């Protein structure tokens, strides 16, 4: 009954806002051709908002013919209308609004200290940051760049862009990126791009900031003034380039043509490096960036957790930069087929690997780590072949990492480690003597949790249809080798 009454009250106030009957206030929003007057009721705004209690007070109010006139030209009519509707009805509905509109609503609501909108809309945008970046990442990033209320959202968006930089740099709009935003991106160690790509995109962006109209492919027509203009724009970015991650061939082809914009001693220092000398670089010797992760199921946070489990570290200690392993995708079911034979063709005798599984209608991923080769112990005709190890484990974690990663692990029962890994050419990857987890074509099967007892909290007994699964090969990474520092080789 109470909810019905509140719903009716919200509806009635909403109709009052729509028809504007008995209004006593006109709010002038927007400017130019996008200017609109909205008729409202000062009593409702006064009761619902501390901002309007001040703005409509006797000391500030401006009346014309008995009507309060209030101007807010920096907020568009569409955005202001949403905020006013919330103040009248107490309802929030984000459906039907473009991501950029929601961000403008957030910024405007924060400016007017309307915490009810800020709290829920900010959480909504954080939870959906991956989706809102898909169509217009440049515009989204530009609009959240300088607003403090967007700081949390900004970090999530930058993390996502660093993992998928092509989303940003394949857009023609990237040429209009704010300089401070591009500086922030290139300063990050987790920007997963080849360094020569970073350089080439930087050159194109820098030229777009000048009046240079010559062809970048032919520099013979460039004047000294052209190079000086480019040098002035690009100078702040030079220390952010990982120069030693660029091969000698790439350096000669793409960098040397622009040597006039580089510090004089840089060419000599890098040439010494290519000649196997150990130059003392005048610029910071920054760690190499990572290569993009070839996965549609997991991200760097998941990899960091798996790496910590392998090394018996605390799983909550997430460091997406210093992951001590390289990962190479061997198998993806939606690409290679839900086929046991194909799994063995691509994954047998590859060394340590891990499996990640996505199930329909589930917010979690499950999987397992095998530190051994996947191969038969005896003749393949013997059916089940079990391998002994105490280092394997089964795991589960959340797909969406925007609220952090909820992770669980089940290690081997020490009394049953002789059946930790199951090999059978008739099936896909298998774990435990139950079996605790075995994949076959597009199905997952668990009979019991005997070898990995804690897995009962995240793996259900019986048959389950799979949505997708991936298998990655992993090897120790040389964190101290500058040129060869990679992750997730595609």
Question: Per-residue confidence of the chain (490 residues) as pLDDT tens digits?
Answer: 667 778 888 887 889 888 888 898 999 999 989 999 999 999 999 999 999 998 888 777 788 888 999 999 999 999 999 999 999 999 999 988 999 999 999 999 999 999 999 999 999 999 888 889 988 899 999 999 889 999 999 999 998 898 889 899 988 899 999 999 999 999 988 888 889 999 999 999 999 999 888 778 888 889 999 999 999 999 999 999 998 888 888 999 999 999 999 988 888 888 888 887 665 666 666 777 766 677 888 877 888 888 889 988 765 555 555 677 778 889 999 999 999 999 999 999 999 999 999 988 888 899 999 999 888 877 655 688 899 999 999 999 888 665 566 789 999 999 999 999 999 989 999 999 989 999 999 999 999 999 999 999 999 999 998 988 898 887 765 432 222 222 222 2
Widest pairwise Cα distance in the chain: 97
How far apart, in whole angstroms, are the C-alpha atoms of residue 314 and residue 405?
Answer: 13
How far apart, in whole angstroms, are the C-alpha atoms of residue 457 and residue 251?
Answer: 53
How far apart, in whole angstroms, are the C-alpha atoms of residue 199 and residue 185?
Answer: 13
Element holding 63 (H helix, E strand): strand 63-64
How far apart, in whole angstroms, are the C-alpha atoms of residue 114 and residue 55?
Answer: 14
How far apart, in whole angstroms, are the C-alpha atoms of residue 474 and residue 490?
Answer: 12
Which pLDDT does position 380 carry in this prediction? 59
Burial of 314 (0-12, 13-18, 19+ CB in 10 A): exposed
- The domain made up of 1-76 has a fold known as Potassium Channel Kv1.1; Chain A (3.30.710)
Which pLDDT does position 30 carry in this prediction? 93
Domain with CATH 3.30.710.10 in the chain: 1-76
Which pLDDT does position 264 carry in this prediction? 81
Residues 6+ apart with CB under 8 A from 47: none
According to DSSP, the β-strands at 364-370 and 353-358 are antiparallel
How many other CB atoms are found less than 10 A from the CB of residue 435?
Answer: 21
Which pLDDT does position 266 carry in this prediction? 87
Token pair of 119 as six digits: 């709290």
- Is 347 in contact with 331 (CB distance < 8 Å)? yes
At residue 449's C-alpha, the angle toward residues 446 and 451, to 5°, is 115
How far apart, in whole angstroms, are the C-alpha atoms of residue 87 and residue 81?
Answer: 10
Query: CA nearest 229: which of 251, 214, 250?
Result: 214
Token pair of 263 as six digits: 């510090």
Token pair of 10 as six digits: 């919200």
Which pLDDT does position 488 carry in this prediction? 28
Query: CA nearest 350: which of 473, 487, 227, 222?
Result: 473
Residues 6+ apart with CB under 8 A from 328: 294, 472, 473, 474, 488, 489, 490
Helices H / strands E in the chain, number of each: 18, 16
- Is 397 in contact with 305 (CB distance < 8 Å)? yes
Residues 6+ apart with CB under 8 A from 134: 167
- Is 370 in contact with 421 (CB distance < 8 Å)? yes
Which pLDDT does position 377 carry in this prediction? 79
Which pLDDT does position 280 carry in this prediction? 66
How far apart, in whole angstroms, are the C-alpha atoms of residue 375 and residue 362?
Answer: 31
How far apart, in whole angstroms, are the C-alpha atoms of residue 13 and residue 98?
Answer: 26
């Amino acid at each position: 009954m109470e909810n019905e009454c509140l719903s009716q009250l919200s509806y009635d106030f909403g109709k009052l806002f729509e028809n504007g009957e008995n209004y006593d206030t006109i709010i002038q929003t927007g400017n130019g051709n996008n200017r609109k007057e909205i008729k409202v009721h000062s009593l409702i705004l006064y009761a619902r908002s501390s901002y309007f209690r001040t703005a409509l007070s006797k000391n500030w109010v401006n009346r014309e013919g008995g009507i309060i006139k209030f101007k807010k030209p920096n907020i568009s009519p569409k955005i202001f209308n949403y905020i006013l509707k919330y103040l009248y009805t107490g309802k929030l509905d984000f459906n039907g609004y473009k991501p950029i509109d929601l961000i403008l609503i957030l910024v405007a609501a924060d400016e007017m200290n309307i915490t009810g909108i800020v709290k829920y809309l900010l959480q909504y945008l954080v939870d959906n940051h991956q989706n809102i970046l898909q169509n217009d990442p440049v515009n989204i990033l530009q609009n959240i760049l300088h607003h403090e209320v967007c700081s949390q959202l900004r970090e999530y968006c930058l993390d996502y862009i660093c993992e998928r930089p092509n989303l940003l740099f394949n857009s023609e709009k990237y040429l209009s990126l704010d300089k401070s935003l591009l500086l922030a991106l290139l300063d990050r160690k987790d920007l997963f791009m080849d360094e020569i790509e970073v350089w080439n995109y930087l050159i194109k962006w820098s030229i777009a900031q000048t009046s240079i109209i010559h062809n970048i492919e032919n520099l013979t027509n460039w004047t000294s003034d052209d190079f000086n203009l480019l040098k002035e724009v690009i100078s702040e970015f030079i220390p952010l380039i990982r120069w030693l991650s660029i091969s000698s061939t790439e350096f000669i082809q793409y960098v040397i043509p622009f040597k006039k914009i580089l510090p004089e001693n840089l060419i000599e220092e890098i040439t010494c490096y290519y000649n196997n000398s150990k130059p003392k670089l005048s610029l910071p010797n920054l760690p190499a960036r990572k290569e993009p992760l070839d996965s549609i199921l997991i991200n760097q946070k998941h990899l960091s957790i798996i790496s910590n489990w392998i090394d018996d570290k605390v799983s909550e200690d997430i460091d997406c930069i210093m992951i001590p392993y390289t990962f190479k995708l061997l198998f993806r079911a939606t690409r290679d087929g839900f086929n046991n034979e194909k799994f063995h063709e691509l994954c047998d005798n590859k060394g340590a690997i891990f499996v990640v599984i996505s199930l329909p209608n589930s917010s979690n991923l499950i999987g397992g780590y095998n530190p051994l080769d996947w191969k038969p112990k005896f003749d393949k005709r013997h059916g089940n072949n079990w391998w002994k190890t105490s280092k394997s484990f089964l795991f589960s974690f959340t797909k969406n990492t925007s609220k952090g990663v909820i992770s669980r692990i089940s290690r081997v029962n020490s009394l049953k480690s002789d059946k930790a890994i199951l090999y059978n050419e008739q099936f896909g990857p298998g774990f435990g003597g139950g079996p605790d987890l075995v994949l076959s074509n597009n199905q997952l099967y668990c009979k019991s949790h005997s070898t990995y007892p804690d897995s009962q909290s995240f793996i259900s007994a019986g048959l389950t249809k799979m949505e997708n699964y991936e298998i990655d090969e992993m090897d120790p990474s040389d964190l101290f080798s500058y040129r060869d520092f990679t992750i997730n080789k595609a």
